[in-house]
Amino acid sequence: MAMDVSDVKKKISYSAMQPTGLPHLGNYLGALKNWVSLQDEYRCIYCIANLHSITVRQDPVNLRKRTRDLFMLYLAMGIDPKRSLLYFQSAVPPHAELAWILNCYTYMGELGRMTQYKDKSQKHSDNINAGLFSYPVLMSADILLYSSDVVPIGEDQRQHLEICRDIASRFNNIYGDVFVVPEAYIGKIAARVMGLQEPEKKMSKSDGDNENNLVYLLDKPEVIISKFKRAVTDSGNEIKYAPDKPGISNLLSIYCAVTGEKPEAAESKFAGKGYGDFKLIVGETVAESVRPIQQKFNELSKNKDYVDALIRSNTEQTNALAQRMLTKVKKKVGFPIV
């Protein structure tokens, strides 16, 4: 049985991830890890944002596989289908419908200021499509469809959440209180995990050209350890947080996010150690922490019927929920409900 959506007492937490690649440590520490604990306090809705993912060209066979793998990974991480909803965005048409409507309440100027749009247009200069530009509108539709109170995200998505809040308030000002204006939920540690080879840039799924830059949740333990051993460090030999030490600071953040240790405690623990030993310990700690997730993922991969049944029942429930809000919005803007 999936979650009882009629329970309105708990607040709603909503989040999504694109199946543009398998999740990496940034996705895990910046977002996914928080998703699991939020289930105690909130009704959680977790989307696999495959509509968003085609803003960058995808291979259809890979995309289909990664979409399903991500569903299983949510489960493996501890998203509990008895308490939370999880679904594919493409299987819930109200997302695209509401996005169209909200497009008409969003200004070109505000979308043009988005740094993700600027970054991705630069990276994919041969494919600067309209979807890439209106990405934050679809993201707003995702969030607003479910009257979400909080949205756990990494730091890079803060700007998109701001635009969502602006769109919701603008719509409410015209039509009355239709949408809940959501709050961002951004963790304190590892809200922005940087690449292991390029610690000045955030770790991103779609930047898979340099494999050693990203640590994937499903990388084998020995691969994880070897990627950490090769991580770029900084000049000097001290293990401490510092603006001129992006590599070491990133490794410390990763270590603290995984273990729950305070930054100062981690600094004193590693005081006097060499960079090589430090990188090895961080690598081993990360590898150990993802081991149970990998085990669960492998079990689920063998349990096709169970996963298929969950996908079906969750899709049905999510559609029912999304339709409610879409109908409300259609009435407000003056579309006949037939």
Name the residues that contact ligand ATP, by CB under 6 A. Answer: 17-18, 20, 26-27, 30-31, 153-154, 156-157, 191-193, 202-206
The residue among 53 and 233 lying less far from ligand ATP, judged by its C-beta, is 53
From 33, 205, 245, 279, active-site residue: 205
From 9, 82, 118, 120, active-site residue: 120
User: Shortest Cβ distance from residue 105 to ligand ATP (Å)?
Assistant: 24
Q: To which residue do tokens 């909803």 refer?
A: 85
- Clarify whether 220 is annotated catalytic: no
Taking the C-alpha atoms of residue 99 and residue 29, their distance in angstroms, rounded to an integer, is 29
- Clarify whether 201 is annotated catalytic: no
Element (H, E) at 36: helix 33-38
Report whether 236 contacts 230 (CB < 8 A).
Answer: no
The residue among 39 and 329 lying less far from ligand ATP, judged by its C-beta, is 39
- Please state, as a whole number, how many other Cβ atoms lie within 10 Å of the Cβ of residue 201: 13
The residue among 148 and 204 lying less far from ligand ATP, judged by its C-beta, is 204
- Which residues fall within 8 angstroms of residue 130, CB to CB, at 6 or more apart? none
Report whether 34 contacts 184 (CB < 8 A).
Answer: no
Report the residue closest to ligand ATP, judged by CB: 30
From 10, 11, 202, 240, active-site residue: 202
User: Shortest Cβ distance from residue 327 to ligand ATP (Å)?
Assistant: 29
The residue among 206 and 313 lying less far from ligand ATP, judged by its C-beta, is 206
The residue among 106 and 204 lying less far from ligand ATP, judged by its C-beta, is 204
User: Shortest Cβ distance from residue 73 to ligand ATP (Å)?
Assistant: 12
User: Shortest Cβ distance from residue 311 to ligand ATP (Å)?
Assistant: 19
User: Shortest Cβ distance from residue 146 to ligand ATP (Å)?
Assistant: 16
With the C-alpha atoms ordered 95, 100, 102, 103, is the resulting torsion angle positive or negative?
A: positive
Q: Exposure of 309 by Cβ count < 10 A (0-12 exposed, 13-18 middle, 19+ buried)?
A: exposed
Tally: H helices and E strands in the chain? 14, 5
- Clarify whether 240 is annotated catalytic: no
φ, ψ of residue 87 in degrees (nearest 5): -160, 165
Taking the C-alpha atoms of residue 53 and residue 329, their distance in angstroms, rounded to an integer, is 26
Taking the C-alpha atoms of residue 156 and residue 191, their distance in angstroms, rounded to an integer, is 8
Residues recognised as catalytic? 120, 202, 205
